Amino acid sequence: MAQHDVDLSKPVSDEVRKTTCYMCACRCGIDVHLKDGKVRYIEGNRDHPVNRGVLCAKGSAGIMQHYAPARLTGPMLRTGPRGSGQFKHISWDEALALATDWLGEARAKDPRKLAFFTGRDQSQSLTGFWAQQFGTPNYAAHGGFCSVNMAAAGIMTIGGAFWEFGSPDWDRTKLFVMFGVAEDHDSNPIKIGISKLKKRGARFVSVNPVRTGYSAIADSWVGVRPGTDGLLILSLVHELLKARRVDLDYLARYSNAPWLVIDEPGAGDHGLFARDGEGTPLVFETVTERPVPAGTKGARPALSGTCQLGDGRRAVPVLELLAREYLDPKYAPEAVAAQTGVDAAVIRGLAAEIGRVAFEEAIEIDQPWTDVHGERHQSFVGRPVSFHAMRGISAHSNGFQTARALHMLQVLIGAVDCPGAFRYEPPYPKPLRAHPRPHGRAEHFGSNQPLSGPHLGFPLGPEDLLVEEDGRPARLDKAFSWEAPIAAHGLMHMAIANAHAGDPYPVDVLFLYMANMAWNSSMNTAGTIRMLEDIDPQTGDYRIPKIICSDAYSSEMVAYADLVLPDTTYLERHDCISLLDRPITEPDSVNDAIRWPVVAPDRDVRPFQSVLIDLGARLRLPGFVDSRGTPLYTDYADYIVRHERRPGIGPLAGFRGLGGDRAGRGAANPDQLRRYIENGSFFSAHIPPEAQFYKHANAAYQDFAVKMGFFDTPQPVTFQLYSEELQKFRLSAEGLREPAAPEIHRARILAAFTPLPMWYCPLEEASVDREAFPYHAITQRPMAMYHSWGSMNAWLRQIHTKNRLQVPGPICDQHDLRDGDWVWLISHHGRIKVPIARTEAVNRDTMWTWNAIGKRRGAWALDPAAPEANEGFLLNHLIHELLPPKGDGMRWANSDPITGQAAWYDLRVRIEKAEPGEASEPRFEPVNEKADRPAELRYGQEWAK
């Protein structure tokens, strides 16, 4: 047999263990093949509801993640200066005792002294609960710098959102329109879905400044200028309204289109809904010609005109206001073409196609169902146009309103949760009022009590903000303050800058999990590093005195930790992909899943979630100890099985009840994890056929949701085309409603908080000299990599080891640039020297590069000569966490003013040809210079260890 031939007579594995992938956020089912107790290879689980056996490059390379030389090997205490990478190994007893001391001191002084932020954490239901029990308001995960605009706008408009909360109806859609999507999110389902579209001959349109990944295989590519998607969408709405391609019956039944809006400029209730004595919004009944409560049986509500309420106030239906706004010629395709970079004919053609497919190719499923008003329908009618969007539209300072505009478009054509359109994934839809309000205080402040509720939620108006009596933010990241009122996922990107500045207050301990804040997860990377290193001359200590990091790998951030709590890999621990957290359900089924230790750790590492539970017990946090101080849980596995958020509702929905025969609600089952493992590490419950569509208004679905424990009573959703919550903030900014907005915040609120979706120029673009910085620069996520983990993976590094700045051909010609040349890319904040590649597949004003390939020398156990650490680069150095000064005495966050979403994609730049180079700039001193690194890494060699 030749040396490289495979001996097929020998089994490649002696055992297969089924678990859940964590090589990206998609959470596919995987079969891990083991040979002699080592991971031999990984394949897709064909029975799994998420991926149906499909495995991507990242997923199969999980083996190299598991055996990566960058894995941390034991707890460490810093011995040299921050960033030096000088640590000593300590025992877990010492590490946990020290962490308990630091955290306990902070809690005793003031729980706010702890800031706990987690990165792409898939256990937020636990980490959030822990922080709540600790009593600090300063907790969030990474959503504020990812896609909170998309999530918050979706929940506030249709009670759901793209990706984890919904999906295109891949089997029936005839026209699929995708706006700016990160290719590492929902990766396998989108690939499977697009292949279905291609097989059926359905049309796929991609709206994205960059034609790569999914856009490269779209039937039509619309190369929109970054930050103008919202204007493009409103122009589509203009065209659809003009052509009367809107579903009036759907609007009257399921949206607030007929609700009456008070039209009394200058009054404290102007722009709010007219309501009856019970608080139910009113509609104008066209037969009896009087206002009646919305939902009155048999009422035919007016959708246009004006009317007078019983007390003499004027009122207007929402749809009248909407039509007045969007029929304005300022939204005509010709009027927006130059701004969006999309020809008027393309906009007009896309609008016509959306309207034609929605109304002339409608589909019907012969399935009787009953709506929440008791009306029986003989079939599900479908408008087979579906949309999908993610970070591309989110990561702008106008992204919330853009995402709202896209959901408004879906509702106008009747294409939400019907056959062929976007469909909800349970536990969504969920109306705004069923979400919690944000909480930032214990019932009795300073008494070591838990917060009175969860940190993250949705304010229904300024009265729900987390601000002190003088208006100052209650949270370190200023979420839910006047600066970012609807910051539903927090502002992790502001945590270090605010802690360093002591604004609104200093903290004692920064506790990070899986968050590479000293490198690719921060704006203004060099500035962030300086803040982490900065010493307070008065105390002689670091300005952020103590940093605890938990991570599985030696990231750039680990070098800045004072105490390192090493995590396991995803194949060595329990995890819970919970309905209480970020679901993996499908439109037709309710799913959740687990991970479990398919191999035992061979290092002195512990699963972070178990460590957190241990710390909770050592700190005697309520919820983690009983009344005598005895720990409630032995580890995360025990917590997953026995913790109950409400009676009968725990982290996992499947195999509940003592016999394991209950789904959703039921007593804790000590055998639950074994049942999951036997079932392939997931659980699935099918939604009854009569409950599968129109879930927002479907009586059978609402009953199913109550039975499963999503809600305790039915929670139907009325689509909110017009947002009364946003109007309340406007009234506060006008001084017409209490609490009045502080003067300094008023102009920003009035500019951004409109109750109907609108478009405004991204804030960085509006504040810099557009001639000095004429281009956009954005990042794309490589499909083969996920954040910084992927780009240290030995197999995935064969796909990308360095990135180039992709520059449009005409800009290359203008600056005499060829492939491989070096340029200075300059923003209002900084300059980087990088190599370029010429491309034609991009918007003419936009340059782009892959995200998170560039590494700091010495990090991630890569050779300091590795291409990632030399030619590789980050755009982060050009992006400041604050906007340029405006002359109002404030430095505003570079974020969406509504949600606080980090505006990564608002970056404006200019380009200058540079001398040829060997390495990108800026350069940084290496971290972890003395770390052991293999001279060569190969799978077999590593596996044989």
Alpha-carbon distance of 662 to 424, in angstroms, equals 23
Shortest Å, Cβ 54 to ligand SF4: 7
> How many secondary structure helices (H) and strands (E) does the chain include?
25, 34
Residue 111 dihedral angles phi and psi, to the nearest 5°: -55, -25
Q: Is 51 in the site for ligand SF4 (CB under 6 A)?
A: yes
Contacts of residue 345, Cβ cutoff 8 Å, sequence gap at least 6: 333
The 3-state secondary structure of 209-236, one letter per residue = CECCHHHHHCCEEECCCCCCHHHHHHHH
Shortest Å, Cβ 622 to ligand SF4: 35
Q: Is 59 in the site for ligand SF4 (CB under 6 A)?
A: yes
Q: Is 24 in the site for ligand SF4 (CB under 6 A)?
A: yes
Shortest Å, Cβ 26 to ligand SF4: 4
The three-class DSSP label of residue 380 is strand
User: In the set 187, 481, 779, 839, which binds ligand SF4 (CB under 6 A)?
Assistant: 187
Q: Is 27 in the site for ligand SF4 (CB under 6 A)?
A: yes
C-alpha radius of gyration, the chain, whole number: 27
Q: Per DSSP, which regions of 406-453 are E strands?
A: 422-424
Question: Which span (21-29, 122-130, 438-446, 663-671) binds ligand SF4, by CB under 6 A?
Answer: 21-29
Q: Is 239 left (phi over 0), alpha (psi -120 to 50) or beta?
A: alpha
User: Among residues 124 and 702, whose Cβ is nearest to ligand SF4?
Assistant: 124
Shortest Å, Cβ 20 to ligand SF4: 8
Q: Is 207 in the site for ligand SF4 (CB under 6 A)?
A: no
Backbone CA torsion sign across 904, 905, 909, 912: positive
User: Among residues 527 and 790, whose Cβ is nearest to ligand SF4?
Assistant: 790
Question: Which span (25-33, 461-469, 843-851, 916-924) binds ligand SF4, by CB under 6 A?
Answer: 25-33
111, 442 contact by CB (below 8 A): yes
The three-class DSSP label of residue 779 is strand
Q: Is 26 in the site for ligand SF4 (CB under 6 A)?
A: yes
User: In the set 17, 18, 19, 23, which binds ligand SF4 (CB under 6 A)?
Assistant: 23
Shortest Å, Cβ 189 to ligand SF4: 8
Q: Is 188 in the site for ligand SF4 (CB under 6 A)?
A: yes
Q: Is 571 in the site for ligand SF4 (CB under 6 A)?
A: no
Q: Is 66 in the site for ligand SF4 (CB under 6 A)?
A: no
Shortest Å, Cβ 889 to ligand SF4: 46
Shortest Å, Cβ 866 to ligand SF4: 22
Question: Which span (1-9, 49-57, 226-234, 694-702) binds ligand SF4, by CB under 6 A?
Answer: 49-57
User: Among residues 27 and 695, whose Cβ is nearest to ligand SF4?
Assistant: 27
Shortest Å, Cβ 388 to ligand SF4: 16
User: Among residues 56 and 479, whose Cβ is nearest to ligand SF4?
Assistant: 56
Question: Which span (54-62, 284-292, 563-571, 896-904) binds ligand SF4, by CB under 6 A?
Answer: 54-62
User: In the set 17, 18, 21, 926, which binds ligand SF4 (CB under 6 A)?
Assistant: 21
Shortest Å, Cβ 786 to ligand SF4: 6
Pair of tokens at residue 71: 């894995």
Shortest Å, Cβ 796 to ligand SF4: 10
User: Among residues 28 and 869, whose Cβ is nearest to ligand SF4?
Assistant: 28
Q: Is 509 in the site for ligand SF4 (CB under 6 A)?
A: no
Query: How many C-beta atoms lie closer than 10 Å to residue 927's C-beta?
Result: 27
Residue 619 dihedral angles phi and psi, to the nearest 5°: -85, -5
User: In the set 28, 218, 302, 549, which binds ligand SF4 (CB under 6 A)?
Assistant: 28
Shortest Å, Cβ 27 to ligand SF4: 5
Q: Per DSSP, which regions of 318-390 are E strands?
A: 363-365, 369-370, 376-377, 380-382, 385-389
User: Among residues 757 and 790, whose Cβ is nearest to ligand SF4?
Assistant: 790
Q: Is 583 in the site for ligand SF4 (CB under 6 A)?
A: no
Alpha-carbon distance of 652 to 644, in angstroms, equals 10
Q: Is 829 in the site for ligand SF4 (CB under 6 A)?
A: no
Contacts of residue 25, Cβ cutoff 8 Å, sequence gap at least 6: 120, 122, 184, 185, 186, 786
Residue (of 396, 427, 393) closest to 407 by Cα position: 393
Q: Is 680 in the site for ligand SF4 (CB under 6 A)?
A: no
In sequence order, what are the beta bridge partners of 315?
262, 307
Provide the residue type at 530 as one letter: R
User: In the set 32, 39, 56, 883, which binds ligand SF4 (CB under 6 A)?
Assistant: 56
Shortest Å, Cβ 30 to ligand SF4: 7
Shortest Å, Cβ 152 to ligand SF4: 24
833, 917 contact by CB (below 8 A): yes
Alpha-carbon distance of 453 to 135, in angstroms, equals 10
Pair of tokens at residue 681: 């590490």
User: Among residues 191 and 695, whose Cβ is nearest to ligand SF4?
Assistant: 191
Please give the size of the binding site for ligand SF4, defined by CB under 6 A.
Answer: 13
DSSP string, 220-282: EEE-PPTT-HHHHHHHHHHHHHHTT-S-HHHHHHHBSTTSEEE--TTSTTTTSBPB-TTSPBE
Q: Is 55 in the site for ligand SF4 (CB under 6 A)?
A: yes
User: Among residues 545 and 790, whose Cβ is nearest to ligand SF4?
Assistant: 790
Q: Is 48 in the site for ligand SF4 (CB under 6 A)?
A: no
Reduced DSSP (H G I as helix, E B as strand, rest coil) percent helix, strand, coil of the chain, to 5: 30, 20, 50
Q: Is 676 left (phi over 0), alpha (psi -120 to 50) or beta?
A: alpha
In sequence order, what are the beta bridge partners of 893?
882
Shortest Å, Cβ 577 to ligand SF4: 11
Contacts of residue 678, Cβ cutoff 8 Å, sequence gap at least 6: none
Shortest Å, Cβ 59 to ligand SF4: 3
Cis ω for the linkage preceding 427 (within 30 of 0): yes
Q: Is 167 in the site for ligand SF4 (CB under 6 A)?
A: no
Residues of this chain that interact with ligand SF4 (CB under 6 A) are 21, 23-24, 26-28, 51, 55-56, 58-59, 187-188
